[in-house]
Structures are given as C-alpha cells and as structure tokens.
Amino acid sequence: MAASWLWIPLTLGAAVMQTVRTTGQKRLSEDVGNMMATLTRFLFGLPFALASLSLRRASLSLGDPNFLATSALTLFTVIAIETALLGVIIVVRDREQFTAMRGKLKISTFIGATSMLGSVGWFTAMTLEQASYVRAFGQIEFVFAMLVSTRLFRERYTRNELVGIALIAASSVALVVF
C-alpha cells in the first residue's frame, strides 16, 4: 500500500525537473548540442512516466470498484499536496506572488478550473486503462493545441515542428488502430 503512493515524490520531482528543463533547454542546446539536449529532455520526462504509473496504482489500491471515486480521491490528494508544497515555496521564495495572484483571480480561477477538468480526465483514464496507453494517446493534445494556436493566435510553425506533430498524431492513431 505504501509503495503505491510513491507517485507523490515522483510527481513533485517531475514538476521541478520540468521547470528546470524548460528554462535550460535553449542554453543546454547551445552548450552541448541538440542531441545531448534531447537526451536530457527525455531523461527529465522519466519521473513523469513513473508518476503516471504510480497514479494508476494508487487509485487502484483504494479497492473501491467505483473508478470515479478512486480517481477523484487520488486527484484530490495530488492537488492538496501540490497546493500545500507550492504555497510553502512561494511564501519562502517570493511572498509578493500572492498579491500578484490575487490581482488575477478571475483568469486564475478560469485556468485552474479548466486545468482541473483536464486532470479529472487524465486521472480517470489512468484508473481505467494502462498509464502507458493513456499517456501515449494523450499526446494528441499537442495537435489540438497547435490547431488552436494557429487559428486563434495566428502562430506559425517550422517544418520540423510540423513533422514532429505529424509523428505524434500518427503514433496516437497507430495506438488506437493496432
């Protein structure tokens, strides 16, 4: 039972590593080249993969046949822990952020609510199906994000980015078909 809650430190570590990776990706490419930066990026994703597997196990370990209840409890636990820990980090590192966040309450509430709905989907799906399938199929969200950003924000993408998104879409389709 205790091992099934291993996702807590894994998720927190993954979140920290994701922030560091995003911030350092450009500089890393300049320092070590694109191949090593890409390898580093994949290694930063490893805790997310382990966290996904652990989330499913934690939800299933509750033993309740109601998958909505177990996924909701697991999600609530994750959000409560993340909120508490991130709140402490903000208090320690940058107390003024609370004032800044209060000034953006309306948009923050909207973003939080839509993020929560997405998380409900992820947690429920990972309770019902193997995490590897859910995460792989979930990559299709990048396709939709690019479509929205192209239509709403008139963003333009490079050929490499378009090839990458086509590969993601193809892998998601292959996952469903095969």
pTM over 0.75: no
* pLDDT above 50: residue 88: yes
For residues 144 and 149, what is the distance between their CA atoms, to the nearest angstrom?
Answer: 9
pLDDT score, position 134: 80
Query: What span, in angstroms and rounded, lies between the C-alpha atoms of 72 and 123?
Result: 8
Q: What is the pLDDT of residues 138-173, one digit of tens each?
A: 777 777 878 888 888 888 888 877 777 777 777 777
Q: Tokens at residue 122, please?
A: 């992820």
- The whole-number pLDDT of residue 24 equals 59
**Average confidence (pLDDT) over 101-121:** 85
- Identify whether residues 154 and 132 lie together within a single domain: no
**Do residues 166 and 120 share a domain?**
no
Tokens of 60: 């299933």
* Shared domain check, 160 and 88: no
CA 56 to chain centre: 15
Domain that holds residue 150: 139-178
Band of the pLDDT at 36, cuts 50, 70, 90? confident
Query: How many structural domains is the chain composed of?
Result: 2
pLDDT, one tens digit per residue, over 41-85 is: 677 777 777 777 788 888 888 888 899 899 989 888 888 888 888
Same structural domain for residues 97 and 150?
A: no
Percent of the chain clearing pLDDT 70 (strictly above)? 75
Asked whether residue 130 falls in the same domain as residue 148, the answer is no
Do 146 and 118 lie in one domain? The reply is no
Instruction: Examine the domain organization and report whether 36 and 108 are in the same domain.
Output: yes
Q: Determine the Cα–Cα distance for residues 32 and 74; give it in Å rounded to an integer.
A: 39
DSSP 129: S
